[in-house]
Every structure is written in structure tokens, then in C-alpha cells.
Structure 1
Amino acid sequence: MDRYCVRLSAPGKVILHGEHSVVFGKTAIAVSLGLRTSIRVQEVSEPVLKVNLPAVGLNDTIPLDLINKELLKQTTFHIEAPETLEHEEHLAKTEKFVADIISNFEQLTNVKQNALRGLFYVVFGIFGGNEFENGMEITIVSDLTIGSGTGSSASYAVCLAGALLQLAKLKKGIKVDQLSLDDRKLISKWAFNCERITHGTPSGIDNTTATFGSLVSFRKGHEPDLLDIKLDLRILLVYSCVSRETKALAANVRSLMQRNQKAVDCVMDAIDHIAKRALEILQNLSSSDHNGDIDEQYQHLAELWNMNHCLLASLGVSHPALESIRASALARGLACKLTGAGGGGYVIVLIPPSTKQSVVEELSQELSSKGFVVTDTKLGGPGVTLDS
């Protein structure tokens, strides 16, 4: 009897422009991050499902007969159309199953609970109506910090959906070396459903970016727009080690707008203009026959990053730790902006190609000495990929 193994990875994301303004109908741009989540689904001889998720501190073994019993209860098949799945009903069944088989489920952190909910949501949705002949071991590792605004939950969901859909193909005798556009679309749909578990009403921008990579633009009330732009932007991703409360920050911005409607409207319009102008420059830089001097275009990007940060700071969503990081970058002539909700979390420092490596190293060392976590990485890389 054949035993299959699937390996797959998907990137995290950062918001490049449009933080907070997107809530008010303005353009936001998300970009794939060089840090990735990886999954291995390996069929095994033992009649169990082994779940190994070191990123969230989970390691469980579940008897296969309990999973097969639940799988056979699924009478409607949704593998090719996850959007037709009755989400709340399916989630309720999944949660009951998980709570019954994991003895201390109620005592687990919300992150661990959501990881288990998402895993079995996808397993039952994709394989419902079928039994597993072999046991499985699912191992997921990640470069991403959980709950920090870098798309860790979407990256996790894309990995789960992608690997299990590929396993379903292998079980039907279909073997592929790379994912097709249709494969990616289906993966993104399943991942969006998973994101609903964690975020309730997600925009779709995170799962789209993790699936397709590169850049994704988004406006409230519209489907995310995939932008086929080949980028290789070098950045320093700097973690402030300050936790933030996205809902509270968003509420504060809304209150500020109520008190200062015209002024905040102007700020939102300016952020929208920056997002659109930055997109034009990135499209030009990625073109094989791009116009203009590369250094000048990076300088223009740097100006937009700096303006964007200051506009966000005027809304009250910066933090002393973020300003400390930014001061160190500016002292070396490098642009720096917060990314995501602000109030802590991450900042991104643009590293133009002409930047001396010694400058990058000096900045990294200074930030590390202040207690920040610095990662030298790239933006705009590939989305979900099958790994060898």
C-alpha cells in the first residue's frame, strides 16, 4: 500500500501601505514576506493522526478510528467548493469533535484552540465522506511570530489547505510537480474559510497574499486584486517586542476622526495617494524596461514610506519603541515605517540596492542592542509552493 508525503510552504505578509485608511474605503497594499510557514503531511503505519505544531506548542496523537467515524458523518462534499460549506454549522461540529478528543481543550490558549479548529475544519471539509486507510503525521513549522501582524494565521491556513488538497489528489492517483492557478484559487478559498475561524470577518487580503505571493491591493467592499509584480525588495523587519491591540487602536482612530473629521479625512486621502503612487513605482521597478534611474525610484519609495509613517503617527498609532527604531534608521539615511495596526508590533526598513552592507550591519547591531528583534529579509516573493 502506497504511503504519501506532501511538503509545501507559504509566506507571511506585511501591509506596505494603507494601514487604518483601508477601514474608510481607501487603498491598501499587502506584500508577501520572505518568512514562511512549512508543512509536511506524511502517511504513517500507525492508526493515528499525529499533530506536531511547535510554533504554537501543540503535540497530540488522535486515534484514526475516531477521525474516520467523524469523516463518515459528512454527507455533503465540498472539496471543490468550500464557499458552499455551511461555515457556522461545520465549525460547530468541528469544535465539538476537538473538544471531545482533546481532554484539556478548554484550558488551551486561544491560539492553540484556533490551530486545532482550523486543522480539523479543513480535514473534515476536504475528506468528508471518506475514510483514511493510513495514519498521518502533520508537522507545521513557521518563521513567523504568531499574532504579530505578519499573516501567520493565513500562512498556516494556506499550508493546511494546500497540503491536504494535494494529498487528496495523490490518493486519486493524480501527481503534480507544481500548483496551477486553479489549485491556488481553491487553496485560497479554503484558507479564507479558516481565516473566518480566527478573524470572524476577514478581508481576504492575508490568504490571497499567502497563496499568490507578490503584491495584493485591496479596498473595502471589493475582492482583493492580485498584482502580478515581480519584486525583490530588501528590508529589515524589526519586531518592537511590544504587543498591540488592533481593535483598540482602530477605535481610537475612529474617535479621533469623529472629533476632527475634516483633518483626519485629509490624512486618509494622503495615505490613499501614497499607496497608489507607491504602487506605480513598484510596477515600474519590476518592469523589464523600467523607466528612470533605480536609485531615484528607491529614493521616491523612501519618501513615501517616511510620509506614510508620519501620517499614521499623526493618527496616534505609533509608539515610543517604533520611534526609537525609526530614529536609528533615519540616522543612517534609511526609510522606516510601521506596518499593520501600529502601537507596537513591527516596523519595516527599506534597504535600497546601493546601501552599503556595513550600514545594514551597524543598524542591525544597534537595534539588537536595544532589545529589538531584527530580520534581514525580502518582500514580494512567491506564494504557496510545493517543496521537494
Structure 2
Amino acid sequence: MVHVLVVDDERDFADLVAERLRARGMEVQTAYSGPEALEAARASSPEVVVLDITMPGMSGLEALDALKAEKPSPEVILLTADSTLGTAVAGMKGGARDYLLKPTDIDTLVAAIGEAEGRRMEALSRQRMAETAKLAALGELATGVAHEINNPLQVMLNEAGWVEEMIQDSPMEAGNRRDILESLELIRRQASRCKAITSKLLTLRCAVDSRGAVADLPTLVRGLLEARQGRLEALGIRVQERWADGIAQLRLPSSEWEQVMANLIDNALDAVEAMKAADPEGHDAPVLTLTGDFRDGGLEVAVRDTGCGIEEHLLTRIFEPFFSTKEVGKGIGLGLAICHGIIEAMGGSITVRSSPGHGSIFTIRAPMAVHARNENNGPGSPASAKEEKI
């Protein structure tokens, strides 16, 4: 469903257009001035904006410039009553995708919105392809780097253990022995931390093993939630689960899906914790919602939180390796990159919608065929049934 923002200072006209677009299955918001449009765009991230050029105060062209400065920016269709088209041409130069003369035939507007959404999806597809290629190259590099680092790290850990044994058997003042043992423990912890990082680097080079261990998604998720029960209770988070009929019968590669869901759940808990730290008394009880459904011949899984949300200008970067909005020491920026790599290896996609103060929703869409090939999903399973239909 395409999300459209209609902007026009003539309220009756904007409301009428919005009503007719909703009747055609679109999600529509209205704004009646340039500043109101910018506020609505930042709050809800519309995919297409239908923008009147002639408005009092902030003009449509000024609003267009401000919208195009946002990241990611929506597709913009201009409406103009100027038959000379001079301002419309200026708008096209400013980044608008199309212009229509008022009064506008609704079918023409619907077609223009469809074309704009198609262009937006093509641009996103090209961006995902570039990200996938970059991640694949990084995965190859990370594999070699991790191997070269892990070997000396193991030597360091072995030598630290050997030094500890030597100290235990050597005469030494108690204070000196304690200081040295504490230093050795610090070396051991930091080396182990480096090994954990290199282990995560290895997961950037993702491949789906359809013959490995399998599990159904609801059971896998409940196991992850049980392991985090203490933190859920400490943060006062209420958990909601909604699984479509047949999800529990679908057998998924447990290693890959456990990594993905664990990272997304931990990310949600971190967002709630950050929200509470910023304003301990100012929010309702947080909610974590996990859903799974069969949609458009594939599997759709969503993880929604009511945490602090993500600034819009960061949304295009959160799947980049080593990019993190967390404080130093609380994250190395690989969790979401790993999720992205695993889901891309399945031939699927992972997207996010978020706004500050209103939480985030991460949506995974994976083609059913990648799971239908799993030997544990037989001819009568939901996976096989879905594959036969596409």
C-alpha cells in the first residue's frame, strides 16, 4: 500500500483528493501548508507527496526544496494552476518527478502516483543491489581478516594462561601477584572480546544451509524471549505475539533465523532502554510486538517496538557494517548488518520504518521457496503449498 501525503492550502480540495485516493486503496495524509507538510513528512515518511505549488507563506517550491533535503526524500508530484508551466518546470528542475494541471482527473493522478512509486521502488532496488555487492565484498575481506586475527589472539590467550601458571608457582609478594593476575585477566577479557568481534565478522559472509538444524519460528522466538526474561521484566516490556495459521508448521533454518531474530529483539530492547534513560517517567508501558504471516507468496515477519525510534537521516545507514547509534562499548554496529546479510542470502529483504519517539518496525520478507526447499518441509507443509502457487 503506497503512503501518500496530499498538500494543498485549499482544504476542501485536499480532503476530496485524499478521500478519492483512499477509495483506491492508498494510505493518505493531508497537510494544508508547507510547514505542516514538512512536519507530517518527518513524522510518517510518505513515499509520494502530491504538492500544490501556489500556497501562502512557504510556497510549494520552497517546500519541495526542504523535502528534497530530507534523507530519504519522497517522490513529489506537483499540482499547478499556472497554464504557462513556468513554475512547474522550475519544480521539475528542483527534483519533482511529475506535474499535473489543476483541476486534475483522479485517474491521471492515480497513474502518476503509481509511476512515482514505481520509480521509488526501482531506486530502492538499485540501492539494495549496491549494498548487497558491498556487503559481499566486505564479507570476503572479513573472512580473511578474522582468520589472521584469530590465530594471534589464540596465542595471546595461551601465553596469558602460561604466565599465570608461572606466577602461581613463583615466590612473589601477594600484592604484586594480585596486580599481575588482574592484568592477565584484563588481557584475557579483551582478547576474548576481539574474538567475539571477529566471529561476528565471519557472519557477514552469509549463506543459508537448508540441511542444518531447523525450528518453527514461534518456538524459536519464545526461546529467545525466555533467555531475555530478566531484561524484559526490568524494562517493564509487554510482549505481544501474533502468528498466522501454518507458521508453526513451517521449519526454518534455526541458526540463521535465530541470529536475525536475536539481533532484532536485542535492538528493540536497546531502543526501549534508551527511551527510559532519556525520560524515565514520560512514557507509557513499552510494548514489543512480533508477528509472522504469509504474504504475496512469501514469509513476512515483523518486529515492532515502542522505543526511542531512529532519526530519519540515519535510516539509510543502519544496515551498514560498523555503523551504530549506541554509545561506545554498547555496540559495534554489526547486528543489523548481519541481519541484512542473512536475509539477502535468502533472496529476501529487510526494511525499517521509524520516527523519533514513536518506536520502530523492522519487516523481513523472505521468498517461500528458500524454505520450501528445506528437506523438513514436506509436500503437505505450508511452505510447499505456497511454492506451488507462485
| TM-score under structure 2 length normalisation | 0.25
The structure that has the greater radius of gyration is: 2
Considering Cα pairs closer than 8 Å and 6+ residues apart, tell me whether 1 or 2 has the greater RCO: 1
Structure number having the greater strand percentage: 1
